[in-house]
Amino acid sequence: MDEILQVLFGLSTSVNLNSLAKDLFTLLSVESVFPALASPEYKLRTTVLKAPHGDLLSCMEMAKVADLIAFVASASSSCEESRSSYIDLFGSQCLSVLRVLGLPSTVVLIRDLPNDLKRRQDVKKTCTSILSPEFPEDCKFFPADTKDELHKFMWLFKEQRLTVPHWRHQRPYLMAQKVDLVADTPNSEKCTLLLTGYLRARNLSVNQLVHVSGAGDFQLCKIELLKDPCPLNASKEGDLMVSDETNDVQVVRSLAPDPMKQESLLVENVPDPLAGEQAAWIVDDSDLDDSERDDEADDGMVLDENDSGFPGPECNDKVDLDDDQASLQLNFRESDEETDVDSVMMEGESMTKEQIKEEIRKIKEAHAEDEEFPDEVDTPLDVPARRRFAKYRGLKSFRTSSWDPKESLPPEYAKIYAFDNFTRTQKHVLAKALNVEQGGVEDCIPASSYARLHIKEVPTGVASKLCNLVNTMPIIACGLLQHESKISVLHFSVKKHDTYTAPIKAKEELVFHVGFRQFVCRPIFSSDNINSDKHKMERFLHAGRFSIASIYAPISFPPLPLIVLKSEVASASPSVAAVGSLRSIDPDRITLKKIILTG
């Protein structure tokens, strides 16, 4: 039977998750320290995680792998019949983020109900009526104070058909229950990272690339299929609940990658002198005949039809790793001359408190002015307008006037990839992944297996941080689809989060959580205009409407949710700045900077 990952999430600080977890372990008669708990009585194997209240990143990572989220409400302050008596500010913010990620199966457990039977029923009814609008219609509410109530919940939970968001079905993933590292050589800067846990969703091929949360994309050097340390029929082997430690190291099967089939860790294209600044094209394998496929340098990748060169396979450019985030080194080219409100804010570390306050005040003023008078720029008095705005051109009609998408491309475009036909390529890639799932390929381990992933050439410093984080935050390894390590231009539909009031400036450093991936980037914002092939660049992300955020990033196939976090100078934890979803991958999308001269 599959392992069920259950997350306990307290809706307020008054919820005691430790007490609830202890009651659940007592109900399951479990004394094992192993994360997965097998219960022959309920005929299920489950891992129980406690979401730390106030730690947004940990809560997000747990929600990404959860099969069931049990939201826990405390009725201890039920004298106030209001929403705030059950859900505090962090609980409300986190709940809105989890909705964007996509909620799996959910239940609400109500604790601390009164002992008086009539009063107990009244409080439960009140709590249900207040909280029910916050959750899906099929979400059930359970009292969870006594052993009998928890027993009833466990039986209903066992019979429930669990559902997870669609985007999690497309890729295999593993939540590490153990994290180790093996140094490649003494004093080496690289090591082999070992992640051990249950594989979920899909089969994983040893030839696939994997993304490790907070680290980046890597190749596998080996996968070991291990004996299940927590089987449901453990009673036949003596100890009913405590797993035999020797089982953990017993290797049932070992898989090694095939150098001819293994996905290459290709990030950037090698610019071809004949290609100019155009992006390399990715085409569907089905478009190539056998001879062309054999000659291809990188699995169906070619340049523009007007070019004769091919990108070489020797490209070893990697994504730099910094602060547990994969930080992309490509930047959108900025104009030599910017308007006053586009001046980039100095780094906070080199500024005094007074300078920071003054810079924030200027940005807020620019944000308010841009919202009231969008695109308006005063004609300069000291410089002739024809010189100041020499890079701009007049358009008779922003909607109908023509503009060549290949004109004046940034130099970085020679290093990225574009799709010849995105829809067809995505269909082909997903079909290829389905063949791995259904074909019983010999280089795969099946979903629900207990396995150890050997991930090679991981920076030792990053691996050491992951070893320290595993006890406080889920470490997730996700199998990537074909082409998903290559850099392109990704466009996201984003909306400023309701709780975030500070201005969000274009090209400001933000952290994008896209599905299982996360990376630091500096997006540009533009209008979401479906009636035109040109889109107006926006200097700020304004509240109350959707915009498009465009970044250089590794290719990811939609649908995928997006959570945008922003680090705050005065706060140790990041704030939720915006939410959205992946819209498209298109380097040819035209984003223009529009100005209206006044004065």
**Domains along the chain with CATH numbers:** 3-164 (3.40.50.300), 173-261+443-479 (2.40.30), 319-339+352-415+487-599 (2.40.30.10)
Q: 45-49, 194-198, 456-460, 511-515: which range is least confident on average?
A: 45-49
Q: Are 140 and 108 in contact (CB under 8 A)?
A: yes
| DSSP tag of 505 | B
Strand 561-566 with 476-479, pairing: unpaired
- For position 80, what pLDDT does the model report? 60
99 CB neighbour count, 10 Å cutoff: 14
Residue 25 has pLDDT above 60, yes or no: yes
Q: 224-233, 327-336, 426-435: which range is least confident on average?
A: 327-336
Tell me what the mean pLDDT of segment 457-480 comes to.
92
Q: 236-240, 311-315, 378-382: which range is least confident on average?
A: 311-315
- For position 416, what pLDDT does the model report? 87
Cα–Cα distances (Å) from 200 to 169, 170, 210, 447, 448, in that order, read 9, 11, 14, 5, 6
At 397, is the secondary structure helix, strand, or coil?
A: coil
Which of these, 375, 521, 443, lies nearest to 208 by C-alpha position? 443
User: Which amino acid, 587?
Assistant: P
Cα–Cα distances (Å) from 236 to 165, 169, 243, in that order, read 36, 34, 12
User: Which amino acid, 432?
Assistant: K
**Contact residues for 501 (Cβ-Cβ < 8 A; gap 6+):** none
Instruction: Retrieve residue 345's tokens.
Output: 């804010």
The full 3-state SS of 411-480, as one line of letters, equals: HHHHHCEEECCHHHHHHHHHHHHHHHHHCCCCCEECCCCEEEEEEEEEEHHHHHHHHHHCCCCCCEEEEC
Residue 318 has pLDDT above 80, yes or no: no
- For position 530, what pLDDT does the model report? 79
Separation between Cα atoms, residue 500 and residue 543, nearest integer Å: 9
Residue 172 has pLDDT above 80, yes or no: yes
Q: For 518, what's the count of Cα atoms within 13 Å in the CB-facing half-sphere?
A: 24
* Selected residue with higher pLDDT from 41 and 79: 41
Is pTM beyond 0.85? Reply is: no
Tell me what the mean pLDDT of segment 21-44 comes to.
74
| Residue labelled with tokens 């058909």 | 161
Query: Band of the pLDDT at 594, cuts 50, 70, 90?
Result: confident
* Selected residue with higher pLDDT from 6 and 29: 6
Q: 56-60, 306-310, 349-353, 565-569: which range is least confident on average?
A: 306-310
Most confident listed range (83-87, 170-174, 342-346, 535-539): 170-174
Separation between Cα atoms, residue 406 and residue 413, nearest integer Å: 10
| Residue labelled with tokens 């089969």 | 203
Label residue 354 exposed, middle or buried (CB < 10 Å: 0-12, 13-18, 19+).
exposed
Element (H, E) at 551: strand 546-554
Strand 140-143 with 517-521, pairing: unpaired
At 282, is the secondary structure helix, strand, or coil?
A: strand
Tell me phi and psi for residue 302, to 5 degrees: -135, 165
Q: Are 359 and 413 in contact (CB under 8 A)?
A: no
| Residue labelled with tokens 């795969």 | 444
Which of these, 91, 100, 103, 94, lies nearest to 66 by C-alpha position? 103
Q: Are 353 and 308 in contact (CB under 8 A)?
A: no
- For position 489, what pLDDT does the model report? 92
User: Which amino acid, 76?
Assistant: S
Query: Band of the pLDDT at 385, cuts 50, 70, 90?
Result: confident
Instruction: Retrieve residue 525's tokens.
Output: 């914002």
Assign residue 286 a region (left: φ > 0; alpha: ψ between -120 and 50; beta: otherwise): alpha
Tell me the per-residue pLDDT of 185-201, one tens digit each, with 9 for 90 and over.
Answer: 777 789 999 999 999 98
- Written as one string, the DSSP assignment of 2-63 is -EEEEEEEESSTT--HHHHHHHHHHHTT----SSEEEETTTTEEEEEEEEPTT-HHHHHHHH
Tell me what the mean pLDDT of segment 95-108 comes to.
94
User: Which amino acid, 26?
Assistant: T
484-517 core/surface letters (b: 16 or more CB in 10 A; e: else): bbbbbbbbbbbbbbeebeebbbbbbebbbbbbbb
Tell me phi and psi for residue 122, to 5 degrees: -65, -45
Q: Are 543 and 474 in contact (CB under 8 A)?
A: no
Residue 596 has pLDDT above 50, yes or no: yes
- For position 265, what pLDDT does the model report? 84
Tell me what the mean pLDDT of segment 489-500 comes to.
94
Tell me the per-residue pLDDT of 410-429, one tens digit each, with 9 for 90 and over.
Answer: 787 888 888 888 899 999 99
What's CA 335's distance to the chain center, in Å? 31
User: Which amino acid, 385?
Assistant: A
Strand 301-302 with 320-322, pairing: unpaired
Query: Band of the pLDDT at 533, cuts 50, 70, 90?
Result: confident
